[in-house]
Amino acid sequence: MNWMGIAGLILVVVCVGLMFVFALLHRGRPYRGLRSIPAFNRLRRAVGLAVEDGSRLHVSLGSANLLGPQAASALVGLSMLDRIAQLSSISDRPPVATSGDSTLAILSQDTLRSGFRSANALDQYDPTRGRVAGLTPFSYAVGVIPTLVDESVSANILAGHFGPEVALIADTADQHGSFTLAGSDSLPGQAVLYATAQEPLIGEELFAGGAYLQAGPMHAASLRTQDVLRWALAGGLVLGALLKLVGIL
């Protein structure tokens, strides 16, 4: 039995424990101990404006494979979609979700349905609002463009796995003057988004989306756990470096 496997299991168990502890600590009330990320504040404003002027919100979940590491970013996108579906359920135009992967499209339909149901607006749910735009990254990117142009979208939330092709989406949104908040787990995608999107989420900020949109205490708890892990990782790196220097490792 390899020690890395054991260490990995311990890490996972500790993370789960911390998440539950933090979730219990601020259960029932939103956790406010988070630094301000302006992009999320502007997203709130954009959602409000979209509801006010009856335009549509577009949530793009990227082309992550559900069986891959990118799935994490897509899952965060789904959490955001759920919240946005709830918050915009009084809008004249329900939000539309596009995906570059079939499993994500199915999940986006389920998420939209549950979002509308929890907002008692199930009548607004339309299965074609959770759609596949294309099955390869670039066919997905160009498949999203008509949605931006033809469906009077005023705000785009790109939350998922996007490569550099996301520049096509952000560029089109920019040309049509619609708001774009975009985050990707792909670093080249983030770099491109920093230059092209109005409100880019860089690094881990995408994974904080659920907590900043108040998607539930477990989201805030996982963020606090992430901070604890950060300290642990930093300590481990420094300690390991010292041990390596003195020749123990």
Nearer to another protein by Cβ, of 107 and 153: the residue is 107
Instruction: Compare residues 60 and 115 and give the one whose CB is closer to another protein.
Output: 115
Q: How far apart are CA 10 and CA 236, in angstroms?
A: 15
Distance CA 199, CA 103 (A): 27
First to last CA, the chain: 20
Nearer to another protein, 60 or 225 (CB): 225
25 binds another protein (CB under 8 A): no
Of 215-234, binders to another protein (CB under 8 A) are 215-219, 222-227, 229-230, 233-234
**Total residues binding another protein (CB under 8 A):** 155
Q: Is 21 one of the binding residues for another protein (CB under 8 A)? A: no
Among 59, 80, 107, 182, binds another protein (CB under 8 A): 107
Choose which of 54, 97, 112, 181 interacts with another protein (CB under 8 A): 112
* Smallest distance from another protein to CB 216, Å: 5
Question: What are the distances in angstroms from CA 52 to CA 46, 48, 55, 82, 116?
Answer: 10, 6, 8, 19, 18
153 binds another protein per the rule CB under 8 A: no
- Give the integer Cα–Cα distance in Å for 243 and 208: 34
Quick note: the x/- pattern for another protein over 66-95, rule CB under 8 A, is xxxxxxxx-xx-xx--xx--xxxxx-----
From CA 234, how far away is CA 211, in angstroms rounded?
23
**Euclidean distance between CA atoms 48 and 84, whole angstroms:** 10
The nearer residue to another protein, 157 or 207, going by C-beta atoms, is: 207
User: For residue 62, is it left (φ>0), alpha (ψ between -120 and 50) or beta?
Assistant: left
Q: Is 55 in the site for another protein (CB under 8 A)?
A: no
Give the 3-state secondary structure of residue 200: strand
Residues 178 to 207 in contact with another protein, rule: CB under 8 A:
185-188, 190-192, 194-196, 198, 202-207
